[in-house]
């Protein structure tokens, strides 16, 4: 093979990688933390228009993506300069809605979830009777 053919093949390989990298979207990474700085390993992240919930990493409470798929089948690619809105929620914590402007690189967002304050008082549950719950009449001999 001559040098011209090798150069042409290499140029094709590298330009294809550059195009694929450009089409992939910009990576955004979200860390979900408690006020003490501990990861919330049960959290989920989603776009307000999306139906799917994305679980965070169970070790460090992080989630990362370059795009999301909307219910109508379209792909929402993260591009530099776009405003990305996300809902972050977890059991026992208040849901946080954030808006983040995506940059070209180093898109790391820390979201702190506040714990839900629950009162410790006992709540009496009401007794609801139904038609079939009428007490039986007792007779002598039973």
- The band of 95, judged by pLDDT with boundaries at 50, 70 and 90, is very high
Q: Where are the domains of the chain?
A: 25-117
Residue 115's Cα: distance from chain center in Å? 18
What sign does the CA torsion over 48, 116, 57, 81 have? positive
Q: pTM, whole model, 2 decimals?
A: 0.67
Query: 3-state DSSP call for residue 132?
Result: helix
Tens of pLDDT, residues 100-114: 999 998 999 999 999
pLDDT value for 15: 52
Bin 4: left if φ > 0, else alpha if -120 < ψ < 50, else beta: alpha
Residue 88 has pLDDT above 60, yes or no: yes
pLDDT value for 110: 95
Element (H, E) at 13: helix 3-24
pLDDT value for 51: 85
Domain spanning 25-117, CATH class? mainly beta
Query: 3-state DSSP call for residue 84?
Result: strand
Residue 68 has pLDDT above 70, yes or no: yes
C-alpha distances out from residue 97 to 44, 116, 139, Å: 12, 16, 63
d(CA 84, CA 107): 11
């Amino acid at each position: 093979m001559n040098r011209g053919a090798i150069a042409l093949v290499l140029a094709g390989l590298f330009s294809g990688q550059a195009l694929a990298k450009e089409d992939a979207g910009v990576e955004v990474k979200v860390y979900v933390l408690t006020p003490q700085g501990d990861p919330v390993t049960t959290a989920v992240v989603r776009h307000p228009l999306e139906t799917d919930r994305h679980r965070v990493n169970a070790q460090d409470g992080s989630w990362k993506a370059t795009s999301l798929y909307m219910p109508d089948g379209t792909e929402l690619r993260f591009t530099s300069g776009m405003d990305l809105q996300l809902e972050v929620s977890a059991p026992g914590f208040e849901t946080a809605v954030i808006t983040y402007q995506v940059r070209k690189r180093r898109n790391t967002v820390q979201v702190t979830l506040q714990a839900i304050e629950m009162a410790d008082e006992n709540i009496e549950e009401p007794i609801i009777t139904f038609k079939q719950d009428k007490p039986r009449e007792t007779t002598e001999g039973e």
